[in-house]
Amino acid sequence: MVQSECRLLRGLLGFICLLAMCISASPDLCVSLRTVKDSLNVTSRRRYMKMNFPINYTIQVHYEEVFRLRNISQLLKEENPPEMSDLQELWLHASREGIKKVLRVLPERHPTRRKYLSNLEDLFRDFEGLYYQKYKKDETRELPESIQNIWDNMGENGWRSVTPKSLLDNCYRTMLCLFEECFKNENDNINYCDPNWRKGNQTT
């Protein structure tokens, strides 16, 4: 009798350990993303993406590589709204392409490249690796039309001028919205998906 209870307990303990392992898969993703967030801090964005460039300097990106909070709220209003992962994949794509486009115009020894953006690109690559390891792409799922259209037209709609800093500003703000569960402990009462949340909060 005692022995079987013991076995039961051991089984239960094993199950709990397994459960704990499953749950901790997500914190890994958040750890990686928090590293990205730290690098996207406002001081760095200002110094490396603005002050290191000529005044009003812009680069050319594809329309779909401009991904803002407004895009998210618009897409979520669609009749057949996207899943969070659809938006996260768009965010990853837009962010990585934006960084690539800035790197492309920077000379080899430019301080923004050497001291900041190359490293940030690596952090994004690491995060993307973890992300697709955790959320394996389901190729059989039919995407909502709005999302499918964006992917289909990617790069087909011509170019837009944006400042390097605005790319990372948008990348940062949409990140807080789309990966809220990684950040919500820090500031529980803010709705990061609300385009107005920064009002009166100049530090972000």
Ligand X SMILES: *[C@@H]1O[C@H](CO)[C@@H](O)[C@H](O)[C@H]1NC(C)=O
Please report, as ranges, the residues that interact with ligand X according to CB under 6 A: 38-39, 41, 43-44, 55-56, 63-64, 66-68, 71, 90, 94, 150
Report the distance separating Cα 100 and Cα 78, nearest Å.
30
Report how far apart, in Å, the C-alpha atoms of 37 and of each of 45, 73, 83, 159 are: 11, 22, 23, 27
Q: How far is the CB of 147 from ligand X (least distance, A)?
A: 9
Report the distance separating Cα 36 and Cα 121, nearest Å.
9
Report how far apart, in Å, the C-alpha atoms of 154 and of each of 7, 13, 65, 79 are: 57, 49, 8, 22
Q: How far is the CB of 23 from ligand X (least distance, A)?
A: 28
Q: How far is the CB of 70 from ligand X (least distance, A)?
A: 6
Indicate the residue among 63 and 197 with the shorter CB distance to ligand X. Answer: 63
Indicate the residue among 150 and 171 with the shorter CB distance to ligand X. Answer: 150
Helix (H, G, I), strand (E, B) or coil at 189: coil
Indicate the residue among 112 and 192 with the shorter CB distance to ligand X. Answer: 112
Structure-block tokens of residue 71: 């895009």
Quickly tell me which residue has 């009002």 as its tokens.
Answer: 199
Residue 143, amino acid: L
Indicate the residue among 53 and 192 with the shorter CB distance to ligand X. Answer: 53
Query: Cβ distance 159 to 60 under 8 Å?
Result: yes
Q: How far is the CB of 54 from ligand X (least distance, A)?
A: 8
Indicate the residue among 46 and 198 with the shorter CB distance to ligand X. Answer: 46
Q: How far is the CB of 173 from ligand X (least distance, A)?
A: 13
